[in-house]
Structure 1
Amino acid sequence: MEGVTAPNVSPIETLSFEAARDELVQVVAELEQGSPTLEHSLALWERGEALAARCEEWLLGAKRRLDEARAAASDEDDS
């Protein structure tokens, strides 16, 4: 099974956006290369889905923070 790695076992909820994004890129590349077994492909797919959800979580959080900062700036301008 040269070139094929097991899905990372780091808890997804502890990953930074950058770490989750980088691992997701690796998972996608590995899926594109094809896995030796269906089970391995499924494990990669599930990990990828969870990583994508983690990235989306981070992005939504960042958007929320930006929206709050813009609202606060707007409130200051109105004062």
Structure 2
Amino acid sequence: MTEPTTQQDQPDISTLSYEQAREELVMTVKRLETGNLPLEESLRLWERGEALADRCQSWLDGARERLDKAREETSEDTE
């Protein structure tokens, strides 16, 4: 995956799968850890990283809810 150079080139976070968001988040963290970026670019990356982390958490929360619901349905079926 090549890193976009402008915000317009970046995909809308709300459309990313968990895997896509996580991969971009890992790349974003690596770029921030280099510390060789101008302040404005670092802030932009930080904000996008926060949004990516929120997207990943939303996916995980949704998966947990689905698993809990499936367990409840299985439990009700065995009673």
TM-score, normalisation: structure 1:
0.88
What's the C-alpha RMSD, in Å, of the aligned pairs? Answer: 1.6
Structure 1 stretch displaced more, 49-58 or 34-43: 34-43
Asked if 1:18 is matched to 2:19, the reply is yes
Aligned to 1:59: 60
* Runs of 5+ unmatched residues, structure 2: none
1:53 is matched by which residue type in structure 2? Answer: D
For residue 36 of structure 1, report the CA deviation from its aligned partner. Answer: 2.5
* Runs of 5+ unmatched residues, structure 1: none
Aligned to 2:10: 9
For residue 34 of structure 1, report the CA deviation from its aligned partner. Answer: 1.3
1:5–1:12 CA distance, 2 compared to 1 (3 A): closer
Aligned to 1:46: 47
2:25 is matched by which residue type in structure 1? Answer: L
1:22 is matched by which residue type in structure 2? Answer: E
TM-score, normalisation: structure 2:
0.88
Cα distance in 1 between the residues matched to 2:28 and 2:20? 12
- Identity across matched positions, percent: 52
